[in-house]
Amino acid sequence: MSQLKRVQQWATFARVWHIYDAAWQNPFQSAELLKKYLMGMHKPIYHPMNDCGDHVIVINTADVALPGDEWKKRVYFHHTGYPGGASWTLAWELHKKNPTMVMKKAVYNSMDRSLQRRYTMERLHLYPDANVPLNLLENVSNQIKQLRPKPKRLDEYKEEEVREFPKLIDLPKSYIVE
């Protein structure tokens, strides 16, 4: 094997490390995106029997966002196996107990049920905040783009930005300042 072909072989089958910021992202839409990187479906050499998945580090999973009132509508079911062992947990209760569990379950449930799924999940590294161990962070070579922009709060704008933003209406002279 020539020198070039050997390097090409390494580059093809090397595991790439990606990082994804989950702040203000929907975990279920993000899971559909992340599973492609975890299973290697974004690669031309992809095959279900071909172990070519990448690593993904997900940060800020405590700040994931759900639409509307889904935090109190989405329910997670668990059964211990004993009689009367069923339990139903709301999404916000699960998130309060473990801020990475909603994201983990979203990715796990987004993938097809197979023997490979548990090994694929081993390549997913979840962190509730931005504190990632340095020995993992130094592997990262790609950032996955967020699905929706993080909304900027009004108090994060500068005062002159708010004042000089184009105004649609003016307050009438009868308006009394509170």
Partner 1 sequence: MNTLLKCVQNFRFNVFKQTKHLSIYPALRVKEIQEKETNNELVISGKILESGREPYLLKNEHPEACPVCASGLQIKHTDVLILSQFMRSTGGMLPRRITGLCRRSQKYISSLVIMANKAGLMPHLKPANSHKDPKMRRGWKKYNKYFYESTIKIK
Q: In the complex, which residues of this chain contact partner 1 (CB under 8 A)?
A: 23-24, 26, 63-72, 90-92, 95, 148-149, 151-155, 157, 161-178
Q: How far is the CB of 31 from partner 1 (least distance, A)?
A: 17
Question: Least distance (Å) from partner 1 to the CB of residue 18?
Answer: 22
**Closest separation between CB of residue 126 and partner 1, Å?**
17
Nearer to partner 1, 67 or 84 (CB): 67
Beta bridge partners of 79: 86
121 vs 147 by CB, closer to partner 1:
147
Look-up of token digits 């999940």: 121
CB of 176 vs partner 1, minimal distance in Å: 6
Q: Which is nearer to partner 1, 79 or 163 (CB)?
A: 163
Cβ distance 19 to 140 under 8 Å? yes
Q: Closest CB to partner 1 among 112 and 178?
A: 178
Residue 80 to residues 77, 92, 96: CA-CA distances in angstroms?
A: 10, 21, 21
Quick one: 84 or 166, whose CB is closer to partner 1? 166
Please state, as a whole number, how many other Cβ atoms lie within 10 Å of the Cβ of residue 60.
Answer: 19
108 vs 27: CA distance, rounded Å: 11
The CB density around residue 56, as the number of other CB atoms within 10 Å, is 24
* Residue 44 C-beta: closest distance to partner 1, Å: 35
Helix (H) or strand (E) holding 177: none
